[in-house]
Amino acid sequence: QSALTQPASVSGSPGQSITISCTGTSSDVGDYNHVSWYQQHPGKAPKLMIYDVSERPSGVSNRFSGSKSGNTASLTISGLQAEDEADYYCNSYTSSSAYVFGSGTRVTVL
């Protein structure tokens, strides 16, 4: 199973909105509403930010939102803040009853 495709880096200024894409296939992202997004700061364990495409766990800021269209899922961060600077990974359930992560995106706050 190949990794889902994400842009290597995305940047924005404080207060701006940015969107990270996650492209898979009709056997994963396109076929299931089980896409999740993770934030990872250096040296830390990943943190779940979005699950089931657009659901936000308790305690996660509503500045984070998720969506999906066809084989591509997206994570939008609005009102970008310095603490949002981190690596972000998407993940999808697959037709093989397995999971696959994306290639990862480094978010930089300018």
Partner 1 sequence: QVQLLQSGAEVKRPGASVKVSCKASGYNFIISNLHWVRQAPGQRLEWMGWINAGNGITKYSEEFKGRVTMTRDTAATTGYMELRSLRYEDTAVYYCARPPVGAKGMDVWGQGTTVTVSS
- β-strand partners of 57: none
Given the complex with partner 1, which of 64 and 89 has the nearer CB atom?
A: 89
Min dist CB 96 to partner 1, Å, is 8
Query: Is the C-alpha dihedral spanning 45, 104, 3, 93 positive or negative?
Result: positive
Rounded Cα gap, residues 58 and 64, in angstroms:
12
Q: Give the interface with partner 1 as residue ranges (CB under 8 A).
A: 1, 3, 34, 36, 38, 40, 45-48, 51-52, 55, 57, 89, 91, 93, 96-104
Min dist CB 3 to partner 1, Å, is 6
Structure tokens given for 6: 């994400």
CB neighbour burial string for 47-65, b if at least 16 within 10 angstroms, e if fewer:
eebbbebbebeeebeeebb
Given the complex with partner 1, which of 12 and 101 has the nearer CB atom?
A: 101
**φ and ψ at residue 77, rounded to 5 degrees:** -115, 115
Min dist CB 14 to partner 1, Å, is 27
Min dist CB 1 to partner 1, Å, is 7
Given the complex with partner 1, which of 17 and 33 has the nearer CB atom?
A: 33
